[in-house]
Amino acid sequence: MKKILIVTSNANKVREFKEMLEPLGYEVVSLRDLHDDEDVPENGQTFAENAAIKAEHGAKKYHVPAVADDSGLCIDAFGGEPGIHSARYLGHDTPYTYKNQVILERLKGETNRGAEFHCAIAFACPGKPTEVFEGVMRGSIAEESRGENGFGYDPIFYIPEYGKNSAECTPDEKNAVSHRGKAVRMFLEYFKKNHYAEEQ
C-alpha cells in the first residue's frame, strides 16, 4: 500500500484525509502516528505558503511524499479575517464553541454575512517541486450555530447549495462541495496523472 504523510496532528483533519484517500489505496500516516509533536512554524503570508512550509518539512524529515494543508474562514464583514489566523483566532486553545459565539455576536445586525472557507493543499515529494492546490467554498455566516457534524467553524457556516449549515451535512455532502474536498480532488488528479503512486 502506498504511504502518504499528512503533516498534521489534528485528528479531525486526519480523519477527513483518510476518508478521501484510503478508499483509493493510500495508507495515511499522520504526525501523531509517528509520535512527532514538533511545532512547524507557519510563518507564511498566505494559505498556500503555510501549506508548502509544512509539506516540505515533512517530506524532508521523513523522506516520503508529504501532504499538508492550511485552511481557514474568511469573513467579508471582517475584511477577510480570521483568514490564515483561523486556528489561532482568540487563542489557539480556545474552544470553537466560544469562537463561533463571538463571531455570531460580532455579526449581530450585520447585513453582509458573506464568507468563504479557503483550503490550500501542498504536496511535497523528495527531489521534485512542491505543488499547491487550492479550493474555496463560498457561503455565509448563519444566524445561529447548528449541527453536530464537522468541526471548527462548520456549525456557523451556511452552505446555500444544501440550505443548511456545514455541520448539518453528511461527510459525503460536505466533501462534494467543501474547500478541502475540491483541493483534495485536484491534488489526487495531479498525483495520479504524474504517476507518483507507481513510484512508491
Question: Cell 447548528 maps to which residue?
Answer: 146
* Of 36, 70, 154, 172, catalytic: 70
Query: Measuring CA to CA, which residue among 142, 147, 150, 130 is closest to residue 59?
Result: 130
Question: Cell 524532508 maps to which residue?
Answer: 60
* Rg, C-alpha atoms of the chain: 17
- Answer whether 100's CB lies under 8 Å from 153's CB: yes
Judge whether 172 counts as a catalytic residue: no
Query: Measuring CA to CA, which residue among 45, 9, 51, 49 is closest to residue 29?
Result: 9
Edge-to-edge strand list for the sheet holding 114-124: 26-30, 2-6, 66-75, 114-124, 131-141, 157-159, 164-165
3-state secondary structure at position 137: strand
From residue 171, alpha-carbon distances to 94, 132, 162, 182 in Å are: 25, 24, 13, 14
Active site members: 70
